[in-house]
Amino acid sequence: MSEQTLFEKYGGFSKISRVVLAFYDTLLDSDDIGPFFDDIDMSRMVDHQTKFMASLLGGPASYSDNQLRQLHSHLPIEHSHFDELKVVLGETLEDHGFDTEDIGAVLQEFENRRKLIVD
């Protein structure tokens, strides 16, 4: 029997989409990060981010390194922005009942993609 993914453990897309919505509720209030989303179709963004988050948790959706690089290449994202995203993500996962060890695993997967997202 194969080991359960974090995606499966935490309820699949329905749970992940709730996590992503809470994540953006916090980010949109951020003075540093909120402006990145000023002219963005947030329903599309939430859909894409839900798929990305699912992939971080071992779920079926994924983005290639090239896709991640291209999607963020036009944005002036700095390490401080990425760090804030990472903190908000960790807090959001904790608020939604993720175990500390699992939060660490997700944040490591996120960190592994820093070089693709930061300008």
Residue of 109, 2, 114, 18 whose CA lies nearest to 57? 109
> Which pair of structure tokens corresponds to residue 113?
């993609």
User: In angstroms, rounded to a whole number, what is the distance separating the alpha carbons of residues 72 and 12?
Assistant: 26
pTM of the predicted structure, to 2 decimals:
0.91
User: In angstroms, rounded to a whole number, what is the distance separating the alpha carbons of residues 54 and 52?
Assistant: 5
Four-residue CA torsion sign, 50, 54, 55, 61: negative
Domain boundaries defined on the chain: 6-117
Answer whether CATH 3.40.50.1820 is correct for domain 6-117.
Answer: no
Residue pLDDT, tens place only, 89-115 = 999 999 999 999 999 999 999 999 999
Residue pLDDT, tens place only, 31-70 = 999 999 999 999 999 999 999 999 999 998 778 889 999 9
* CA 9-14-20 angle, 5° bins: 95
pLDDT in the model for residue 63:
82
